[in-house]
């Protein structure tokens, strides 16, 4: 009988929320946001590339035609995309008039910009560019890179190297940069697995925060509308609180499942879909994580949610108005934010002392444990210890919450002081 009452409470909490417009919107919009995140950069980038009709004129007054190399690079495709470029030869004597003509063409809109290359400026390391798109940082970087490589190639040639050899030597710099990036991560897919780990941590933070504060709001609503008293004449406060926490937890769980499923689906169709529109994409392979990690993530959500929901429920039982709740929830929110703030430090050093400590501390364990696990293997005893500690803390927090709740849920009109709450704790 008591079980059926608990189920009735759970069902109400779950159905009322899942049916609400807010839930539908949040659940649907998040994957839409995800779609934008996955598809938009590629699509936008492509559109920009196609719309880039402006031409850069390269005025070349160098004796060894550095400009030819630059033009080839910009057209060709070292990076595969750039504005169209046209090359105009000049001499020291004609430079001034040719440049003036190009500037006039920029002003009249026929050109986007003009790049002037002559021996003097190159030896100073400061070739000139004038144009309407000087704020386009990427284009400027590409331009700089192309000029640097061209000059380098010519200098190597001047030292007697074969043109091919010097070109490949100059090109090597690009490779080095890429390698520096990957050094941060571990192995080939390091960057992706960091992104994924941060994604997991942020998602856990968001769902725990969102649904935890929903528990607080639910408790507060029952106090404010006074409906608590009617319900408490039918069920015990413990049943009501437990039903609320479990019902709302199930809402969060549903949302997580829907998001996971839709993200997986989107990821699967992303490449073929983009390819159909003729867009090329790099592989977006997620690190191979296995069922173990998935289990830990879900367990972390459940226990972390229980822990924080209990704290939020305690806050809800202590206050009587939305404004009071905003203030009183601050300590709980800070605990959550604290664990999120640790993410950066832990990503850069997932085996460090900070990471180890934060894994074991229950307030951050639900976020840090899955984060670390998706970055690096950690000793079993550490993971098990973290889970056990978290489970114990969740149980303790629930006990605390139910005691405060029992008294607080019928207190209307004022905010309980900590001393009062302490008395409630000892009274029950």
Partner 1 sequence: MAPPVAAPPVSSDLALRLHAVRKQYQDHVAVRDLSLAVPRGTVYGLLGPNGAGKTSTIRMLMHIIAPDAGTIEVLGRPASDPGLTDRVGYLPEERGLYRKMRVRDVLAFLARLKGVPRREVAHRIDAWLERFQLRGAGADWGTARVDELSRGMQQKVQFIGALLHEPELVILDEPFSGLDPVNAQALKDTVLELRARGRTVVFSTHVMENAERMCDAVCIIARGEKVLDGTVASVRDAHASRLVSLTFDTTPEGAVRDALQNPRHVRRAPLASRHCEVELHDHVEVGTYVQQLLGAGAQLEKFELVRPSLHRIFLERVGMDGVETGMRGHG
- List residues binding partner 1 (CB under 8 A): 1-2, 4-5, 8-9, 12, 16, 20, 221, 224-227, 229-236, 410, 412, 423
Check if the beta carbon of residue 200 is closer than 8 Å to that of residue 370.
Answer: yes
Least distance in Å: CB of 8 to partner 1? 4
Least distance in Å: CB of 229 to partner 1? 4
Least distance in Å: CB of 404 to partner 1? 15
Which of these, 363, 338, 343, 337, lies nearest to 355 by C-alpha position? 343
Give the C-alpha separation, 31 to 35, whole Å.
6
Least distance in Å: CB of 413 to partner 1? 10
In the three-class reduction of DSSP (H, G, I as helix; E, B as strand; rest coil), residue 114 is classed as strand
Of 5 and 75, CB closest to partner 1: 5
Give the C-alpha separation, 54 to 159, whole Å.
36
Strands 128-131 and 113-117: what pairing? antiparallel
Of 95 and 235, CB closest to partner 1: 235
Least distance in Å: CB of 260 to partner 1? 29
Of 235 and 354, CB closest to partner 1: 235
Check if the beta carbon of residue 257 is closer than 8 Å to that of residue 207.
Answer: no
Of 247 and 350, CB closest to partner 1: 247
Cα–Cα–Cα angle for 306, 312, 317, rounded to 5 degrees: 120
Of 9 and 394, CB closest to partner 1: 9
Of 168 and 417, CB closest to partner 1: 417
Of 180 and 419, CB closest to partner 1: 419
Check if the beta carbon of residue 127 is closer than 8 Å to that of residue 149.
Answer: no
Check if the beta carbon of residue 218 is closer than 8 Å to that of residue 317.
Answer: no
Secondary-structure breakdown of the chain: helix, strand, coil percentages, each rounded to the nearest 5: 75, 5, 20
Q: Which residue in this structure is represented by tokens 């700089």?
A: 144
Of 4 and 123, CB closest to partner 1: 4
Least distance in Å: CB of 11 to partner 1? 8
Check if the beta carbon of residue 332 is closer than 8 Å to that of residue 312.
Answer: yes
Q: What is the dihedral of CA 384, 387, 389, 391, to 10 degrees?
A: -140
Least distance in Å: CB of 180 to partner 1? 55
Least distance in Å: CB of 321 to partner 1? 15
Of 161 and 231, CB closest to partner 1: 231
Give the C-alpha separation, 201 to 215, whole Å.
21
Of 1 and 418, CB closest to partner 1: 1
Query: Residue 65 burial (CB < 10 Å; 0-12/13-18/19+)?
Result: middle
Give the C-alpha separation, 270 to 73, whole Å.
31
The pair of three-digit structure tokens given for residue 334, joined into one six-digit string: 């800070």
The pair of three-digit structure tokens given for residue 395, joined into one six-digit string: 């149980």
Least distance in Å: CB of 225 to partner 1? 4
Give the C-alpha separation, 147 to 43, whole Å.
28
Least distance in Å: CB of 403 to partner 1? 14
């Amino acid at each position: 009988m008591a079980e059926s009452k608990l189920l009735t409470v759970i069902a109400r909490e779950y159905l009322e929320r899942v049916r609400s417009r807010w839930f539908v919107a949040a659940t649907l919009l998040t994957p839409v946001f995800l779609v934008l995140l996955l598809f938009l950069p590629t699509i936008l980038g492509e559109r920009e590339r196609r719309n880039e009709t402006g031409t850069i004129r390269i005025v070349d007054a160098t004796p060894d035609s550095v400009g030819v190399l630059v033009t080839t690079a910009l057209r060709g495709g070292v990076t595969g995309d750039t504005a169209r470029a046209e090359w105009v030869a000049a001499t020291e004597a004609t430079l001034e008039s040719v440049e003036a003509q190009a500037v006039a063409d920029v002003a009249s809109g026929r050109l986007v910009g003009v790049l002037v290359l002559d021996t003097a400026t190159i030896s100073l390391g400061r070739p000139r560019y004038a144009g309407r798109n000087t704020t386009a940082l990427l284009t400027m970087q590409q331009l700089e890179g192309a000029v640097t490589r061209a000059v380098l190639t010519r200098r190597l040639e001047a030292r007697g190297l074969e043109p091919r050899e010097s070109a490949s030597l100059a090109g090597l710099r690009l490779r080095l940069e890429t390698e520096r990036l990957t050094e941060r991560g571990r192995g080939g897919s390091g960057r992706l697995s960091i992104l994924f780990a941060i994604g997991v941590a942020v998602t856990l933070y968001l769902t725990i925060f969102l649904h935890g504060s929903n528990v607080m709001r639910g408790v507060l609503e029952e106090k404010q509308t006074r409906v608590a008293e009617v319900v408490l004449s039918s069920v015990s406060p413990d049943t009501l609180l437990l039903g609320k926490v479990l019902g709302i937890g199930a809402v969060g769980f549903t949302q997580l499942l829907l998001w996971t499923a839709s993200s997986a689906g989107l990821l699967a169709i992303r490449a073929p879909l983009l390819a159909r529109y003729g867009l090329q994409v790099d592989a977006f392979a997620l690190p191979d994580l296995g069922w173990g990690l998935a289990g830990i993530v879900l367990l972390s959500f459940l226990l972390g949610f229980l822990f924080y929901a209990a704290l939020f429920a305690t806050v809800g039982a202590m206050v009587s108005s939305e404004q009071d709740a905003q203030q009183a929830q601050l300590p709980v929110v800070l605990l959550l934010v604290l664990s999120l703030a640790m993410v950066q430090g832990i990503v850069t050093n997932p085996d460090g002392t900070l990471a180890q400590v934060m894994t074991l501390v229950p307030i951050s364990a639900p976020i840090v444990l899955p984060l670390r696990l998706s970055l690096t293997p950690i000793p079993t005893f550490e993971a098990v210890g973290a889970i056990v500690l978290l489970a114990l803390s969740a149980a303790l927090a629930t006990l605390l919450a139910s005691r405060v709740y029992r008294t607080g849920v019928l207190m209307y009109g004022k905010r309980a002081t900590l001393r009062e709450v302490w008395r409630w704790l000892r009274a029950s």
